[in-house]
Amino acid sequence: MGKPVEIAVIGCGNRGRVYAEYALKRPDKMKITAVAEPNEYRRNMTGEIFGVAENRRFDSLDSFLAVGIQVDAVINATMDRDHFETARKIIAAGIDMLIEKPICLNKAELMELHRLSVEKGSKVMVCHVLRYAPFYVEIKKRILSGEIGKVYSMVTEENVSFHHFSTAFVRDKWGNSDVCGSQIMMSKCCHDLDIITWMKNDSTPAYVASMGGLFNYIDENFPRGAGNRCTVDCEIAENCEYDARQMYVKYGKWNYYAREHLDSYEDRESEDRLMQSLSEGNPFGKCVWKCNNNVNDHQTVMIEFEDGCTVSHNLLGGTAKPERTIHVVGTKGEIYGEMEAGVFYVRKPDLSKLQMFTEEMVDVNTGGDGHGGGDSRLAADFIEYISGGSTSISTTDIGDSIYGHLIGFNAHEAMTERKIMKMERL
């Protein structure tokens, strides 16, 4: 048995730690040997979790690179706005990389990173975790088998629940594109656009159109009796589904976002301190209609492929139930499924049946980790990828991710300029 692959985590937020957790599950395969993170709490917490020596905990990528520590690869889980510069430096240093999506913020940066990775011969894999969810893997296999014929239509939908959307895309930094750097179609639906191009990789996207906007979480919808802060001056908090006290303290939903704004480990473990912070400067205590957010809470993207196949993707923020759905229609049948349920149906026309079609239900074991079982599978595949081992059909090199990203960038331009965009070619 060879020694484990040595990895440095650059950016020690939630996603960086999630991918790094593979080192705890398979220490024989992967070892975290360095971390770089400007936030002292996150840096030291991650270092403690993975047993990283204090002299290998850095406050920036630059300080990590300056020391010249030898690692096999890095996990680049920095903020969206930092991806391009950090990725460029990592590639220049000759280090292979797993980079969180979106790869970057615009078309020019995307093409430049692709060029640099090819020029340098670097392995750059993108964190498109939905490709690893057993639900999507099984659908992909059915399409590849030709079971439903040639695909000519697809409809996908991402319904982001009211508690998730209000936390991450209203109150948090991803709610304002000027802060995070990304529009929501890239920060949230980059996975879905990648799934579309993956399912339909027998053709290339040709045209993109889009419509959407910010409808609900705006000043004009500020309810009578509401206040600027849920725990301070709101008269309707008890009956409001967005009440910070109930969401983050009573029910503990997404409360790790809110706890990130406390000063110390002891504070973050204290319910009383969390409550106090929600009444003071913690952004997660603000009314959702008073958050200075500017990203869309609904958007539809329409795509036409070179072979005539049409696709639409709907983002709906603030739904009651969180779910991703997919409906793929081919010349011999169709597939419809819901990822969270881990179930999809394969239907085919059949005159001999009472309902005029056959239906096979496929129940997929989604596993216990995030993104329908995709997170740990992606980390495992990354280790195989950089080690020269046998990778899966889900492996996403930067070149495989280009068209999904271009769809997202073009969708935003199409929406804001009210026009149909012609897709670029590699």
- Is the same domain home to 69 and 148? no
CATH number at residue 390: 3.30.360.10
- Is the same domain home to 87 and 201? no
pLDDT for 371: 52
Q: Is residue 102 reached through a cis peptide bond, with omega within 30 degrees of 0 on the bond before it?
A: yes
pLDDT for 123: 96
Closest CA to 115 of 88, 89, 97, 90: 88
CATH number at residue 82: 3.40.50.720
For the stretch 234-249, pLDDT in tens is 999 999 999 999 999 9
- Is the same domain home to 208 and 224? no
DSSP secondary structure code for residue 131 in this structure? G
R_g (Cα) of the chain, nearest Å: 22
Given 127, 162, 195, the domain boundary residue is: 127
pLDDT for 408: 97
Q: Is the pLDDT of residue 310 over 70?
A: yes
Please count the structural domains in the chain: 3
**Residues contacting 68, CB < 8 A, separation 6+:** none
- Is the same domain home to 300 and 280? no
- Is the same domain home to 48 and 60? yes
Q: Which domain holds residue 354?
A: 130-217+293-422
- Is the same domain home to 314 and 340? yes
Q: At which residue do the structure tokens 């004009």 appear?
A: 220
- Is the same domain home to 199 and 335? yes
- Is the same domain home to 275 and 303? no
Given 127, 148, 167, the domain boundary residue is: 127
- Is the same domain home to 144 and 66? no
For the stretch 332-356, pLDDT in tens is 999 999 999 999 999 999 999 989 9
